[in-house]
Structure 1
Amino acid sequence: MNTKILLTVSAVFLGLIGIGLSFLPKEIVAYLNISYNPMAALLLQLLGALYLGFAIMNWMAKGSLIGGIYNRPIVIGNFMHFGVGAITLLKIVFEKQERIEIIISLTAIYTLLALCFAIVFINNPKSLGAKK
């Protein structure tokens, strides 16, 4: 698996969510029909900061050797985030929600990324220039 593409895709995905949560908390609260209060906006902005931190970590590590024992904390951190996120979103899919299309989309993306990071964790990276 090409880890550079995987880390780039996850960095862009997390970065877009992080930018939205950090700079548009009022609009997101209004779109989701949640009653607005300053504490909700603060929590969304802090969550956005976490997403941006994860995004920049993935972006900066995309050129490194990843898989097996190499950069294991990055792989495990991503696998934990996307794996637990996928399980949590999957539980919500089966409940009746107003914005179910958003939840189903996020569930699909989270599940796919969790599976990809699980594969990277299990397999050793291919050495550059290896002969077959």
Structure 2
Amino acid sequence: MNTKTIMILSAVVMGAAGIALLFIPQEIHAQFQVEATEVNPVDALILQLMGAMYFGFAMINWTAKANLIGGIYGRPIAIGNVTHFTVGALGLLKGFISSRQELLLAPALIYLLFAIGFTVVFFTHPVKDQQAP
């Protein structure tokens, strides 16, 4: 399985989420607030730290996109992605089921797709690109 596509897609998705959380945490927070009219500065800081983690993970995936991932190759990157997306998908699905907030459905489905994709990558042997020298 050629892993370049899933690595690029995950890097772009996490990079975009990271940049958004870094630069517009108040606006993102407001989308999920039910009663509060003002954003707590600590909440904004936590969202920015989460954005930094997303951006860092995106950079890891972007720089590893040309490497063999799967089986015994690139195992730490594969384990990190499987863990992140599986736990994230479970949390988002649980949050959606318990709160019925429709804003959680799209991220939950995206996380679920990446969790499945990276699980397949993790448990299969990588195939070298035939065009590579």
Report the TM-score, using the length of structure 1 for normalisation.
0.90
Q: Which amino acid aligns with 1:7?
A: M
Q: Please, which runs of 5 or more residues in structure 1 have no aligned partner?
A: none
Partners of 1:126 and 1:16 lie apart in 2 by 29
Instruction: Using the TM superposition, give the Cα deviation of residue 60 of structure 1 relative to its aligned residue in structure 2, in angstroms.
Output: 0.3
Q: Which amino acid aligns with 1:117?
A: F
Instruction: Using the TM superposition, give the Cα deviation of residue 93 of structure 1 relative to its aligned residue in structure 2, in angstroms.
Output: 1.9
Question: Structure 1 runs of 4+ off > 3 angstroms?
Answer: none
Instruction: Using the TM superposition, give the Cα deviation of residue 3 of structure 1 relative to its aligned residue in structure 2, in angstroms.
Output: 0.5
Q: Please, which runs of 5 or more residues in structure 2 have no aligned partner?
A: none
Partner of 1:125: 126
Instruction: Using the TM superposition, give the Cα deviation of residue 2 of structure 1 relative to its aligned residue in structure 2, in angstroms.
Output: 2.4
Partner of 2:42: 39
Partners of 2:129 and 2:29 lie apart in 1 by 47
Higher relative contact order (CA 8 A, sep 6+): 2
Partner of 1:11: 11
- Percent identity between the two aligned chains: 48
Alignment size in residue pairs: 127
Establish whether residue 25 from structure 1 lines up as the match of residue 25 from structure 2.
yes
Partners of 1:127 and 1:5 lie apart in 2 by 13
Report the TM-score, using the length of structure 2 for normalisation.
0.90
Partner of 2:95: 92
Deviations 1:79-105 (A, max 9, x none): 0000000111111121234x41x2111
RMSD in angstroms over aligned alpha carbons?
1.3
